[in-house]
Structure formats: structure tokens, C-alpha cells
């Protein structure tokens, strides 16, 4: 009988591979609650305009997105789906309040029907801080502006940010909340990230911003990370400092995973790479880390060490890495043993003794409510 696993919208891990390594299990995402801190949710649009108008009421939204909206928001933003602010749309509203949401009725309009609206809430307290990431500052306000885009941050910090945040918080790098500044923002959205365009700032540049995200609490519950020790391959030369994955595997056999999901670099004196001012040729999980002297403006590269975040199975012993070979299109999501053995013949054993499945966002399969065929 062919071994077959049907999993709807998930990645799987099979128990078989022994990894002899000593790693650190850490969780960086739990931070203390501060009542004064606020965060903004994603935009919500519950459908097209009906024959009666457009309804984006808080009770309806929370019924459908219970974990995505706080119970007592402190502010409400409304735009048409095309991005026009509500005060410029020309509509009048039957209901427009942070405690109730939005209701626009065709029957109450003088010259036009209701537009199609989307709403965003500002929350505070535990909703923002229960499962919150670190601060990220990937871009500087040079060129077109300051862009802290979720898709870019996910590619750089794949294990430190959930794929679908429920809220976002933005501050200048000096700690001033974005809404206290006079800058105008193109995007300030948990699903996109943040963008400030210099051309929209009346003759000056955007300030330099940092962002952090609030994730579903399940992300924190399963986000224990498997990190290596700090490693320095000694591959510094007159040309710069290179800590490639390939070289680390050779220098530290058995202590480095071949498929890291995250990388962090700091100087040998402990200063984070992001604060040194150096320009990096590479800082990713595909190649590793590289700082080249000739790319620097006025100094040579620092001497760096790196720590890799590995798949959790690398720390836990007899397990494979996570596999995700299918998307839930068509009939569903299929992660079959036979298919995995064909694609990864040296990474999957012929007779696994166990299987584990979770969604690509990190929620264990048994907590999703989905029904599985096998």
C-alpha cells in the first residue's frame, strides 16, 4: 500500500533524520504590555456595495475576524477601496464611530450612491503586545523615500515575522510615533507594511522609520527558534569579512544546518550589524554574510560573527526539515510521502515513523479546524 498523506493548506515534517547539534531554543516575540502603546490593524472590506449601501460594522467584523480586531478600538480610519478618504468621498453616513464602525445607506445620499469602503482600527494594550515582533528598520529615507515593506522584511527575517500580521506599529528610529509627525504616508497597513514617499512631503524628506508587527498568538506559541551558537569562520582578509553558509558548514561540521531560515550578524565585540554603518554585499540565508572593504565609504569592514536560525527539527533530533511542495488550489493541499521521496530522495526515509503538519503561518494542523482525509 502506498503511503499517502492529504493535508489541507499545510507543510509537513517526517520523523527520521538525526541531527547531532547543540542549539539554543529562544523566543523573542513576547514583550511586556504597555497600555499607552497603540497599533493599527489591517484594512477590512466585507464585500461590495449592496442594494442598501455599504456596511462595515464592528460587531460584524469581529464576528468574522475575532482575533484580528481588538474589542475596544480607540480610533477608526475609513477610505474607499480606491484610497479616497471618507471625508472627501461626498457620502453621508448613517453610522460612523470607533465603537460601531461604518454604515452608509443609499437612501440617505443626495446625489449619488454609497461608495465601497474599507476600514482600519487603532488598538492598544494586550492586543498589540501579546505576540509582537522586534523593531525592523530595513530602509533609509534616501531616493524615493522610506519603505518598510512586509514582503521585503519577510525575505530578510523569515522566522521573525508572521506572514499575515494582524497589526502594525510605526515609529521614527528615535521613538516618536509616526502619527505624531507631520509626514504623509502612502501605506501604513499590517498587510503591506509602511511607505513614506519623499515627493509627498512638501519639499523635504521623510523621516527614518522603524516598524514592528503584531502576529496571531499562535505564531508565538510555536515560534521557539532553533539557533546556532555565534560562529566566526575566520575568513576575514584584506578584502573584507565573509561568513558564507558553505564555509561555515566546513568550519563547524554538525553545528550548522544547510537550509537556515534566518541569519543574524554582529561584530566580534557584540554590536549588531545593522548599527555598524557597513554596507553588505550579502546578508541572507542563501549565501550567508559578506562585507567587502571596497564597498565601504570611509573605513574597512568590521570583523563579524553570525548565528543561524535553523528549522526546529534541526534542534529536535530525529526529524526532517519542513516540506511544502503544494498550494491549496484545485482539489486542496497535497503533501504526499511518495512525491516528497521523489523530490528529496536523500532527505526523506522510506518508512517514516511519524508525521507533523502545520500551516505555513505556523499554526498546528489540529488547531485550524480543517478536516483531513488522511
Give the tens place of pLDDT for each residue, 152-169: 888 887 768 888 899 999
Give the tens place of pLDDT for each residue, 295-312: 898 889 999 999 888 877
Q: What is the pLDDT of residue 171?
A: 93
Q: What is the pLDDT of residue 108?
A: 96
Give the tens place of pLDDT for each residue, 185-217: 999 999 999 999 999 998 899 999 999 999 988
- The mean pLDDT value for 133-162 works out to 88
Q: Is 309 exposed, middle or buried (0-12, 13-18, 19+ CB in 10 A)?
A: buried
Q: What is the pLDDT of residue 258?
A: 85
Of 221, 233, 37, which Cα lies nearest the Cα of 124?
37
Map grid coordinates 480543517 to a residue. Answer: 370
Mean of pLDDT over the chain: 82
Give the tens place of pLDDT for each residue, 42-71: 999 987 899 999 999 999 999 888 889 999
Q: Which of 31-40, 250-259, 344-353 has the highest mean pLDDT?
A: 250-259
Give the full edge-to-edge strand order of the sheet including 38-41.
75-80, 117-124, 38-41, 167-172, 209-214
d(CA 309, CA 227): 4
* Of 370 and 305, more confident: 305
CA angle 33, 193, 291 (to 5 degrees): 95
- The mean pLDDT value for 263-291 works out to 88
Q: What CA–CA distances, in Å, run from 305 to 10, 265, 321?
A: 34, 6, 25
Q: Are 119 and 43 in contact (CB under 8 A)?
A: yes
* Of 301 and 234, more confident: 301
**CB within 8 Å of 349: residues ≥ 6 apart:** 14, 16, 17
Band of pLDDT at residue 12, cut at 50, 70 and 90: low
Cell output for 131:
505576540
The pTM of the full predicted model, rounded to 2 decimals, is 0.52
pLDDT of 23 strictly over 60: no
Percentage of the chain beyond pLDDT 90 is 42
Amino acid at each position: 500500500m502506498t503511503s499517502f498523506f492529504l493535508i489541507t493548506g499545510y507543510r509537513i515534517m517526517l520523523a527520521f533524520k538525526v541531527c547531532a547539534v547543540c542549539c539554543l531554543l529562544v523566543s523573542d516575540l513576547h514583550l511586556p504590555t504597555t497600555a499607552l502603546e497603540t497599533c493599527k490593524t489591517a484594512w477590512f472590506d466585507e464585500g461590495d456595495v449592496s442594494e442598501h449601501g455599504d456596511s462595515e460594522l464592528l460587531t460584524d467584523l469581529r464576528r468574522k475576524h475575532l482575533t484580528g480586531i481588538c474589542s475596544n478600538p480607540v480610533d477608526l480610519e475609513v477610505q474607499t477601496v480606491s484610497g479616497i478618504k471618507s471625508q472627501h468621498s461626498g457620502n453621508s453616513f448613517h453610522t460612523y464611530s470607533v465603537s460601531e464602525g461604518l454604515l452608509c445607506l443609499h437612501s440617505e445620499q443626495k446625489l449619488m450612491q454609497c461608495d465601497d469602503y474599507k476600514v482600519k482600527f487603532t488598538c492598544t494594550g494586550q492586543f498589540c503586545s501579546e505576540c509582537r515582533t522586534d523593531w525592523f528598520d530595513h530602509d533609509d529615507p534616501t531616493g524615493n523615500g522610506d519603505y518598510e515593506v512586509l514582503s521585503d522584511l519577510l525575505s530578510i527575517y523569515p522566522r521573525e515575522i508572521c506572514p499575515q500580521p494582524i497589526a502594525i506599529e510605526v515609529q521614527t528610529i528615535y521613538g516618536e510615533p509616526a502619527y505624531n509627525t507631520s509626514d504623509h504616508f502612502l501605506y501604513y497597513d499590517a498587510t503591506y507594511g509602511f511607505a513614506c514617499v519623499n515627493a509627498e512631503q512638501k519639499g523635504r524628506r521623510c523621516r527614518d522609520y522603524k516598524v514592528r508587527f503584531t502576529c496571531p498568538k499562535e505564531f508565538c506559541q510555536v515560534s521557539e527558534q532553533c539557533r546556532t551558537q555565534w560562529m566566526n569562520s575566520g575568513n576575514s582578509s584584506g578584502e573584507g569579512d565573509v561568513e558564507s553558509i558553505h564555509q561555515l558548514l566546513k568550519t563547524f561540521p554538525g553545528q550548522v544546518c544547510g537550509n537556515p531560515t534566518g541569519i543574524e550578524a554582529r561584530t566580534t565585540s557584540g554590536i549588531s550589524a545593522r548599527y555598524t554603518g557597513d554596507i553588505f554585499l550579502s546578508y541572507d540565508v542563501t549565501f550567508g554574510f559578506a562585507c567587502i572593504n571596497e564597498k565601504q565609504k570611509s573605513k574597512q569592514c568590521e570583523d563579524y560573527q553570525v548565528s543561524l536560525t535553523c528549522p526546529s527539527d534541526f534542534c529536535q533530533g530525529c526529524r526532517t526539515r519542513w516540506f511544502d511542495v503544494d498550494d491549496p488550489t484545485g482539489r486542496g493541499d497535497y503533501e504526499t510521502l511518495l512525491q516528497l521521496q521523489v523530490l528529496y530522495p536523500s532527505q526523506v526515509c522510506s518508512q517514516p515513523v511519524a508525521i507533523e503538519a502545520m500551516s505555513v503561518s505556523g499554526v498546528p494542523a489540529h488547531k485550524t479546524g480543517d478536516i483531513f482525509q488522511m
